[in-house]
Amino acid sequence: MERSGRRVVITGLGTINPLGNTIDETWKHIQQGKSGITRITKFEPSEFTSQIAGEVKNFDPYLYMDRKETRNMADFTKYAVASAAQAIEDAKFFAGDTRQFDPYRTGTYIGNGIGGFEITEEAVYKLYTNGPRSMAPMTIPKMISNEAGGNIAIKFGLKGPCMTINTACASGTDAIGIAFEAIRFGMIDTAVAGGTEGSICKFGIAGFCKIQALSTGYNDTPEKACRPFDKDRDGFIMGEGAGIIILEELEHAKRRGANIYAELVGYGVTCDAGHITAPDPDGDGAARAMMAALHDAGMRPEEIDYINAHGTSTPTNDPIETMAIKKAFGDHAYALKVSSTKSMTSHLIGAAGALEAIISVLAIRDQYFPCTTNLDEPDERCDLDYVPNEGVYGKIHGVLTESLGFGGHNGALVMRKF
């Protein structure tokens, strides 16, 4: 049975990511099946086993903040502030100089997996090369994970709860889920929620290379590298960017005449309590998160038309995730459509779930199933309808999006057409 509480709707969207620096640009490229994955340009990657990533391109932070602000922010914070500015504008939270929300009842919930790795990298180099006096004064305030949420709250005067959620690759999903709970049970009325990441630097890429998590076989053809559910997949592709959504209590949104994209109706969260980097081999934790989200939404498996999958393109994840979907959805798993948009966006770590929630909302709005690109020959263990290589239009009422993170973190959201 559906849990009691107030209804929560989505009224604003914003993103900076490898496919685009606006919602419209991102969605256009998703529908075109375009890849945002290229050879790394932030440093010379020749000595690395993985030389490709999903980098943000042509991003102008001065559209959203002044030079002094940018000097005091790491990349992950810049992406988050810019995406929040877009979402707040989209939600029409300000009419001229008048707020359309109560700042004391507006929360900020931002997921982040890593923090400012590029700041850490630079500071450590200076420390061991030139000594402690050489470190920049703002090193710590720029690198720590909570600074994205803190800067958003400061810039827009949001005086309710301000929280940073770090559940690795599930961070963005969990941030939205926790904000959803806070509104539903009356702690706040509105929230700025999502995820952000900005860790494409030598330190970040080297670390993931050492645990053999990244794709290494497609350095010459980056657009082919992310191959969720395909038999030739060989690892995930590191990405960066942010995705932010505005959540509102339904009556609050209706009173101010807000545009409602979709209704957020369920959140499920579990832990595998198994391995620090690998998912539960039986898919039990992921399945339980999806079933919990469905139960929370008061919806049957048959009411879900589309799953935006975690779909990392790693040898381990994809068959286990397929197994988890079958456990959660039973026979209906073969009737619904599943896709991994990471095949185009790359894996944005702490921002992944938030960007994928945005894509799920747009799928509902336009009644369009995004595709999984590079799915040329499915792994025999991956036998669902992954919408290979070309998106399709069709009826979409209910959508589930799920994220799985290092440490065994599993989060799932359910949205439906309003």
Q: Which residues are catalytic?
A: 169, 310, 347
CA angle 138, 139, 144 (to 5 degrees): 105
> What is the distance between the alpha carbons of residues 293 and 400, in angstroms, rounded to a whole number?
8
Residue 66's Cβ-count burial label (10 Å; 0-12, 13-18, 19+) is: exposed
Using DSSP's 3-state secondary structure scheme, residue 398 falls into strand
The CA–CA distances, whole Å, from 323 to 70, 88, 135, 287, 334 equal: 44, 38, 48, 8, 12
Measured from the Cβ of residue 134, the count of other Cβ atoms closer than 10 Å reads: 12
382: tokens are 């991956």
> What is the distance between the alpha carbons of residues 356 and 351, in angstroms, rounded to a whole number?
9
Are 128 and 134 in contact by the 8 Å Cβ rule? The answer is: no
Residue type, 254: K
Residue type, 311: G
Measured from the Cβ of residue 259, the count of other Cβ atoms closer than 10 Å reads: 12
Measured from the Cβ of residue 384, the count of other Cβ atoms closer than 10 Å reads: 21
Write phi, then psi, for 96 (nearest 5 degrees).
65, -125
Residue type, 183: I
